[in-house]
Structure 1
Amino acid sequence: MRVLPVVLLLAALPAFAQSGPSASDPAASSDAQTCAFAGPVMEDVWDEFEEQALNAGCALRTGLGVKTGFCAAAHFTTGLSSSLVGWWNSAVGNSWATIGPRRLTPEVQSGTIQGQTARTFVGVAPVFSRTTVTVDKEGGQAPTEVTVCAYDRDGRSEVIARRSFARGRNTDPGPERLDVTGANGRMIAVNINGNPTNPLNRFEYEISYSTEPVRWDYPATGFADLHLHQAADLAQGSGWYWGSHAVDANAAEICDHTTLTGAVVDQLIPIGTNPSQHAVPVSVDLGAERIDHGSGPRDFSTWPSHEEIAHQQVHRNWLRAAHRNGLNLAVVSIVHNQPLCRMVRELHPHIANQQCEDGASIERQLEALLDFDEANDWYEIAVHPWHARKIIHEGKLAVVLSIESSNMFPASEGPLDTQLGDVYSRGVRSLQLAHEVDSRFAGAAPHMKVPFEVFQALRYPTTALSSLVDGEAGFGGFNYESGCSSNDPECKNSIGLKPQGHELVQRMVSRNMIVDVSHMSEQAVRDLHGVMVGQYDEYPFYASHSRFKPLLDAETQAKQREFVTTDEQIGFFLDVGGMVGVRTGNNAILSAPNRSGASGPAVANDCDGSAKSFAQLIDYADQRGLPIAYGTDLNGNIHQTGPRTGDDACPREGPDADAFSFLGTAPAAGTARRPAVSRTPVRAGTSRPSVSRPSTSRPSVSRPGTARPQVTARPAQAGAIQPGSTAASREAAARGIAHVGLLPGFHQDLKVLNTPGTDRLDQSAENFIRMWERTYDRSVQLLGAPALGTPQIQRGPARVIRRGTIRRN
């Protein structure tokens, strides 16, 4: 018996690279003719594989086609091969497969060809690793030729192996091997072609193949930012944030506004040399926030400020600098706020035709991020956790796409699963179920009465009117608990996870997507925890950007209300293996509990709104064993953590200062900064808080201490060199987080301060990926979740959220 293994040794090529001779090459024409035996089959095979790969979550639909190379990971190869078997078996009933091709399988298949006949075997998934096709001659005397061809998605083909069996009963010992390169990412087919002089001669064979699994189990180094609005310049009708994320800062067009001084109306209406740029106050210094426009070139040494809320903080070169210095994973959040968009549109004639539906904004940003991925070889959108490991291993920034929106997937735009499947096929792997106002899926976390209580009332006017009729104090659009007033910061939104929210969660679980609970009401988070623990076997969820409620003083708690992480919720995250992105910002923070034997906090809390404040949050998480990352919310209309050295050090944010304070009461321009306050530590306790199963009762609230003496902050001098500091950490200490490029320096500055828990930040990329990997443990077997390969999205490139006509809301 003669054994002929054909070994395909694949070159280290990109999984979707085209290889082989060009179409104009005579060799290419010859190969095309030789490989025509499987040509009619391959288009159908590729179509089905792409759709099943998209459903399985290992492919990415882009404007250039579907990228399937991410399916090389061992987790997907077996499942996809199995799911394609069913499709193949159904296809052979009434199509091309009935008259010839058979599926190439790992199991041995035997057969006989006689005379001048042939048998074709087709692989139903691309080859991604070393693959061996073995043909055994079992009997017969017919001379036979075995040809192995590789097929690109675009229809090109190439002969990659060929071997002949001579006439007669060959008894040569041992196998013959042929090493071939270039099949990576392409389909293969094998043709066994008889060519006897005697038509009665037969060739009896056995054929099978084996492939080595591809394992992307690389450790993930570096830290993560779980909430970054990279493309916010395209949100809110493209009229709020100035400066393109797709260009370097020094290549961005200068924002050139001149200012009329005087009334508030001058601050709200863009008046100046170029009023068509963006709808923000044209030059404002309200004490707690600053929006500087100016004109002429900038050196970026002092601009933008950490207080900026209207100019790009994630220019391309800044993001790349952050990556080069330690940021290895970023959850890039596509964001939209419909009421804000409408306000911006009214202020700016040049965007009067921009759509303000969430779907249109999501589409703009998603397409831009896919384009950014194509244009920048250091940046790559991750479609599954093993892909993220591979990206980081190759020295790139792993990007996980998420959506933050209160009106995504409206019923008017079609079935929920179709809309979800569309964004999923283009890389979205995380969602927030609510944003600033209640959504069709969940209740939102009330915070900042102006403007978000107003936005809620505009969306749900019946609820707001009912609260006024009932004599409730204040203007409330949220469904507060019975007997509560919107003016009481301890009143909770009674809306939890809605029926449509349960459906969305089930469909996310079936796709291994992760729920981000940021901005969800406390009741909604409680409901979600009950679902994930009780129905989905502790399926993980996370908060991308939040602060810990026990470390917020009474003023800040009154402002943030439910947009916080409570000790109860920390228990939830620990239950399911989740994590929290700790939100940066220039808020005053209470001191973390003293550690055993210590007489004070690990980091002196004497500079409000700076790294010293943020260090208290990191220390608090560390004492509770909570996995954490950064949750910067850059480009999120918020003030960032400020400097701890220099003239602008310790920029405590007052209770009335927020990203939209120019819409309401705010300190007059030039108001002095509030002095820092001695931060009384909250009650110490390092044990994990006890967590009960979800209930309707409201958890007890840790309240801060009462009045504390005011003291004057004593920031470190800018010229003082502290042990462990670097040029980057000193710049961050002097500027805060003015843009994403300063985040690695800020990270180092926390280490300069000897902040407990920075090792958790160092491990945050790895911990996020581990959390994501856990979604694959059980999800496809849960509660009727569609099995791997079950069609979930419409075939073809249609975009279900793209609107064909421009219209105003």
Structure 2
Amino acid sequence: MSSIRIARSVLFSVGVVAVAATLLLGACGGSRAPEVPVSDMSAGDRYAMANGCFAVRELRSGRFLAVAGGTVRLADTGTPFFMKPTALGRYLFYTPDQRFLAMTSPNQTAADALGDLVDAVGASVGGGGDVIALVNPALPVADGLNDAGDAIDGTGDAIEAAITAQRTLGIVDAPNDGAEWTVDTADQGFSIVATATGDALAIDGAPGRFVFVAQSGCTPYPEAQLNATGEPFKGRLADGTVFGYAETHMHLGGTEALGGRLGYGSPFHKFGIPHALGNCAVDHGPSGAFDALDAIVNPDKAFFPPHDTQGWPTFRDWPSHGSQTHHQTYWVWLKRAWMGGLRLMVNHLVANEVICQIWPLKQHDCDEMDSIALQRQLVLDLQDYIDAQEGGPGKGFFRIVYSAAEARRVIEDGKMAVVLGTENEKIFGCGEFLDVPECTREHIDAELDRWYDLGLRAIFPIHLFDNALGGTRLTEDPALSAVYQGGNILETGHPYATIPCAEADATPPGQAPTQTPRGIIDTVLLTIRGLPPASPLTGCVQNARGLTELGDYFINAMIDRGILIETDHSGTLARKRILDIAKARDVPVLSGHTGFISDSRDSRRILEVGGIISNLPDEPSPVTVAFIQDLIALYREVHGNTERLATGLGSDINGIHVQAAPRQDAAQNPLIYPFKSYDGRVVFDRQVTGERVFDLNVDGVAHYGLYPDFIADMQMQPGGPEALQYLFRSAEAYLRAWERAEAARKKSGR
């Protein structure tokens, strides 16, 4: 498959700049602060202007940058700029009348339009290749179209650069690449360079050296509000454990998966929330006419509903608890969840090549590992962006971690540890067609090593479709069953093979078979005879495909590298074999977003090997409390006590899954605002983003920042306080499971 295709306007938010040294920053609207001597600044102070109000003095002349109309000049009194970070060491200079200092071209508007058109043509050509790729023998033609799309797409930036080659210093009404400035230390001050062109800021000729003078009178740049005050817990508890809960299954890059235009929005954008969560018409069409998926899966909408596509600042129709095609994890909302006790997050990089190929609108390649690589970079950039907003490298609450020890240090420091995982159909390209594997043991070893070095620490070996490693879990939902069956045929060339549930469930521990591949003739006969499998409405069936010999090798290879095993989507026979291996190798497994406890899901065996079972909180808080009560009862049966019991939340947010609706009795028995966090250290009020005020009683969990509200609502329910004890042990439990996985790596000699 061809390389990743990226739309400039949505994705390339490169990192970001920071906030620090609050004594330096005169808050906008405060009194004029004295100039900070250059000699007192360290090299890191180029991050200290973040989200502060400053005048900019040119050292040679001693005069200030001043904006008058559309021109910039030196004057005795300077214009106060709100310094909005776009990346580490990069800024927008935002004027009180809401305009931007920029290297601007009179042709900028035309260049942007032409660049967007070229990008759209490239994406359409490549998208045609992705659709053709649904027919396996046509892959060479599909690859050719993908390459052509990449070639067309690659010319867009070059055309735009050529049209805007002649730029001058001025003021623009909306941020563009010419309005982004890189600030760096220089002799006796700072250099200011246009990031897009490399031109140094110069007034009256020669490039200048500048100092930033704390100022008042700025207009703050648009941003969502936290509506939370207090200092979150840091350190250890008295027993030496960490405090906080784990989010065991979510998708920060979910709207970038499936071609990047099925879902809209991003956790950040270098030009801020008006661009990260702007107008979804760019993907969903006028009035949301192209948003067919959400029309089908959103429980609050009829088929093909119109919706208000405007996000910032009104957000009339989205985000909502039922909408599954609008981004729900903007970075400020993540911060609010962290302030509510979230201390460990497993972010699954997600992809499905077939769904991507079917959907005609796209801006990224459908190759699953390309999509995962793109989402990984997005998360790295998000970490940098948050650092930039909060004072410089390493200062943000959001920390990607690569070992249990590092995660423990991060949590003890009061921050949130972020673990990278994957959830896709063909991990490392290990699909199968007509039962012929599309990868080898050597390929698996090479890719596991490469992706381990890239930070991958948790893997779903199997997702919605069969692959070279084993069979998927079949759904009991008739509509989804038909969709998945069709996808499996497109992906593998054959339908699911099925056996009665009783036969699959009765397989005792230690006796789950490892499946040898069928011959092509047998698979073709199965395809002819087996369409469709037995309906869940007429009889319970499970996937007859277990863990394959290659899958057996894959699971052991994961254990050898200390990578955690995700089991939720594995078919019954495949999961039983995984549990056999886990028991023999003394490692835990994860069930990160189950939603229920049952023998058919091998819940008992997962607890027996020391695994973690987390709830899928897609219904109001009493359901989560009931889930934890069921888990408590089962854990007591298995272990005789609950001393080590812990359970997390696995929201599956941005993963085409609903979030919790309001309680039916919320009007009569509402969550009262303001409320305190579980540990009592942080006070929360209703969350405000732009003009929208979110209230759990009315909106449910419309976005990720409402999970503190959801947890407070849990505390109100019968049994809620006890349930929360186990929830807030889950960060520690995940670390201990990870430590056991790392111990198995050491035993393997790697």
SS of the aligned residue for 2:366 comes to coil
- The corresponding residue for 1:272 is 286
- The corresponding residue for 2:276 is 252
Distance 2:492 2:538 in 1: 20
* Aligned length, in residue pairs: 440
- The corresponding residue for 1:438 is 466
Paired residue for 2:578, among 515, 528, 531? 528
Q: What are the Cα deviations for residues 706-731 of structure 1, in whole angstroms up to 9, with x where unaligned?
A: xxxxxxxx554266759978746993
- 1:611·1:733 contact (CA, 8 Å) conserved in 2? no
Paired residue for 1:451, among 451, 474, 483? 483
- 1:440·1:498 contact (CA, 8 Å) conserved in 2? yes
Q: What are the Cα deviations for residues 67-95 of structure 1, in whole angstroms up to 9, with x where unaligned?
A: xxxxxxxxxxxxxxxxxxxxxxxxxxxxx
Q: Does 1:747 align with 2:698?
A: no
Higher-Rg member (1/2): 1
Q: What are the Cα deviations for residues 600-624 of structure 1, in whole angstroms up to 9, with x where unaligned?
A: xxxxxxxxxx222332212211222
Q: What are the Cα deviations for residues 651-706 of structure 1, in whole angstroms up to 9, with x where unaligned?
A: xxxxxxxxxxxxxxxxxxxxxxxxxxxxxxxxxxxxxxxxxxxxxxxxxxxxxxxx
- The corresponding residue for 1:128 is none
Structure 1 gaps, min length 5: 1-20, 23-63, 65-214, 259-268, 477-483, 551-565, 587-609, 650-713, 789-809
Paired residue for 2:696, among 732, 752, 759? 732
Pairing of 1:583-662 with structure 2 (within 5 A):
583-586=616-619, 610-625=620-635, 627-644=646-663, 649=664
SS of the aligned residue for 1:429 comes to strand
- The corresponding residue for 1:503 is 553
Distance 2:659 2:258 in 1: 20
- 1:733·1:749 contact (CA, 8 Å) conserved in 2? no
Q: CA deviation at 1:446?
A: 1.2
Q: CA deviation at 1:400?
A: 0.6
Letter in 2 for 1:569: D
Distance 1:468 1:415 in 2: 28
Letter in 1 for 2:668: Q
Letter in 1 for 2:633: Q
Pairing of 1:432-581 with structure 2 (within 5 A):
432-447=460-475, 448-463=480-495, 466=525, 469-470=528-529, 475-476=532-533, 488=538, 490-534=540-584, 536=585, 538-548=586-596, 566=599, 569-581=602-614
Q: What are the Cα deviations for residues 296-320 of structure 1, in whole angstroms up to 9, with x where unaligned?
A: 4444587311001100011111111
- The corresponding residue for 2:369 is 359
Q: CA deviation at 1:371?
A: 2.1
Q: What are the Cα deviations for residues 1-36 of structure 1, in whole angstroms up to 9, with x where unaligned?
A: xxxxxxxxxxxxxxxxxxxx99xxxxxxxxxxxxxx
Q: CA deviation at 1:257?
A: 3.4
Q: CA deviation at 1:416?
A: 1.2
Distance 1:440 1:630 in 2: 30
Judged with a 3 Å threshold, the aligned counterparts in structure 2 of structure 1 residues 736 and 746 are, in CA distance, closer, same or farther, namely same
Q: CA deviation at 1:295?
A: 4.0
- 2:287·2:309 contact (CA, 8 Å) conserved in 1? no
Q: CA deviation at 1:228?
A: 1.0
Judged with a 3 Å threshold, the aligned counterparts in structure 2 of structure 1 residues 453 and 398 are, in CA distance, closer, same or farther, namely same
Judged with a 3 Å threshold, the aligned counterparts in structure 2 of structure 1 residues 252 and 724 are, in CA distance, closer, same or farther, namely closer
Distance 1:396 1:639 in 2: 27
Identity of aligned residues (%): 23
SS of the aligned residue for 1:512 comes to coil
Q: CA deviation at 1:637?
A: 0.5
Paired residue for 2:347, among 323, 327, 332? 332
Judged with a 3 Å threshold, the aligned counterparts in structure 2 of structure 1 residues 577 and 254 are, in CA distance, closer, same or farther, namely same
Q: CA deviation at 1:231?
A: 0.9
- 1:444·1:519 contact (CA, 8 Å) conserved in 2? yes
SS of the aligned residue for 2:459 comes to strand
Pairing of 1:113-512 with structure 2 (within 5 A):
219-247=241-269, 249-257=273-281, 271-272=285-286, 280=292, 288-289=300-301, 293-296=307-310, 297-300=312-315, 303-344=318-359, 346=360, 348=361, 351=363, 354-376=364-386, 377-410=396-429, 415-447=443-475, 448-463=480-495, 466=525, 469-470=528-529, 475-476=532-533, 488=538, 490-512=540-562
Letter in 2 for 1:390: R
Distance 2:714 2:566 in 1: 26
SS of the aligned residue for 2:657 comes to coil
Q: CA deviation at 1:333?
A: 0.4
Q: CA deviation at 1:519?
A: 0.6
Judged with a 3 Å threshold, the aligned counterparts in structure 2 of structure 1 residues 301 and 280 are, in CA distance, closer, same or farther, namely closer
SS of the aligned residue for 2:742 comes to helix
- 2:471·2:571 contact (CA, 8 Å) conserved in 1? yes
Letter in 1 for 2:279: C
Structure 2 gaps, min length 5: 1-41, 44-87, 89-235, 387-395, 431-437, 497-523, 636-644, 677-683, 688-693
Q: CA deviation at 1:584?
A: 1.9
- 2:246·2:730 contact (CA, 8 Å) conserved in 1? yes
- 2:468·2:550 contact (CA, 8 Å) conserved in 1? yes
SS of the aligned residue for 1:624 comes to helix
TM-score by length of 1: 0.50
Q: CA deviation at 1:254?
A: 2.1
Q: CA deviation at 1:466?
A: 4.4
Q: What are the Cα deviations for residues 124-148 of structure 1, in whole angstroms up to 9, with x where unaligned?
A: xxxxxxxxxxxxxxxxxxxxxxxxx
Judged with a 3 Å threshold, the aligned counterparts in structure 2 of structure 1 residues 716 and 571 are, in CA distance, closer, same or farther, namely same
SS of the aligned residue for 2:736 comes to helix
Q: What are the Cα deviations for residues 580-634 of structure 1, in whole angstroms up to 9, with x where unaligned?
A: 1211224xxxxxxxxxxxxxxxxxxxxxxx2223322122112222531101000
Distance 2:273 2:333 in 1: 8
Q: CA deviation at 1:636?
A: 0.8
- 1:404·1:432 contact (CA, 8 Å) conserved in 2? yes
- 1:446·1:453 contact (CA, 8 Å) conserved in 2? no
- The corresponding residue for 2:185 is none
Distance 2:686 2:628 in 1: 20
Paired residue for 2:740, among 765, 771, 774? 774
Higher helix share: 2
Q: CA deviation at 1:389?
A: 0.7
Judged with a 3 Å threshold, the aligned counterparts in structure 2 of structure 1 residues 292 and 727 are, in CA distance, closer, same or farther, namely farther
Distance 1:234 1:257 in 2: 16
Q: CA deviation at 1:363?
A: 1.1
Q: What are the Cα deviations for residues 272-293 of structure 1, in whole angstroms up to 9, with x where unaligned?
A: 3898xx7645867975447764
SS of the aligned residue for 1:255 comes to coil
Letter in 1 for 2:397: W
SS of the aligned residue for 1:332 comes to strand
Letter in 1 for 2:324: I
Q: What are the Cα deviations for residues 326-379 of structure 1, in whole angstroms up to 9, with x where unaligned?
A: 1111000000111110122x2x2x63xx32111111111112212222332221
Distance 2:670 2:731 in 1: 33
Letter in 1 for 2:588: P
Distance 2:563 2:481 in 1: 32
TM-score by length of 2: 0.54
